[in-house]
């Protein structure tokens, strides 16, 4: 049962929700976890108690920030740079995860490229 309490901050009127560590002991791998939906899922898994392996293809600082956020909840987290379109890099990633965590209980495939973004137009098509 989740308990809702009124926010005490004058800045926010949103209620706060108690978070239970329902995933304690679970080991998760989230691809594309340094931004967007993958980042949100990785942090939520850590908040729920899962240890999280943060996969990313670029953006070391962003991946490190996600790891630190997850660790704030008391979960273990590691960042691993790997391009999921490369079979060799994926195999190495799974090997490292098994070394760190021993098992994979949760796999979230969130990696992707947005080819129609303004960022893509400015950097990749030149």
3-state SS track over 16-79: EECCCCCCCCCEEEECCCCCHHHHHHHHHHHHCCCEEEEEECCCHHHHHHHHHHHHHCCCCEEE
41 versus 11: the higher-pLDDT residue is 41
Output b/e per residue, 44-53; b: 16+ Cβ within 10 A: bbbbbbbbbb
pLDDT at 15: 75
pLDDT at 54: 97
CA distance linking residue 69 with residue 75, whole number of Å: 10
Average pLDDT (53-64) is 96
- Whether 57 shows a pLDDT value over 90: the answer reads yes
pLDDT at 17: 76
pLDDT-derived band at 18 (thresholds 50, 70, 90) equals: confident
> Which domains are seen in the chain, by residue range?
20-112 (3.40.50.720)
pLDDT at 12: 61
pTM for the full predicted model: 0.76
Least confident of 1-10, 38-47, 66-75, 102-111: 1-10
Average pLDDT (35-63) is 96
Phi then psi dihedrals of residue 41, to 5 deg: -65, -45
């Amino acid at each position: 049962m989740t308990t809702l309490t009124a926010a005490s901050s004058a800045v926010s009127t949103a209620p706060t929700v108690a978070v239970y560590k329902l995933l304690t002991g679970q080991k998760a791998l989230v691809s594309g976890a340094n931004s967007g939906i993958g980042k949100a899922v990785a942090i939520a898994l850590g908040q729920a108690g899962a240890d999280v392996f943060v996969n990313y293809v670029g953006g070391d600082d962003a991946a490190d920030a996600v790891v630190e956020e997850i660790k704030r909840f008391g979960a273990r987290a590691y960042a691993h740079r790997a391009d999921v379109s490369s079979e060799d890099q994926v195999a190495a990633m799974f090997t490292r995860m098994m070394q760190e965590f021993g098992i994979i209980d949760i796999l979230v495939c969130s990696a992707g490229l947005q080819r129609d973004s303004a960022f893509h137009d400015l950097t990749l098509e030149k």
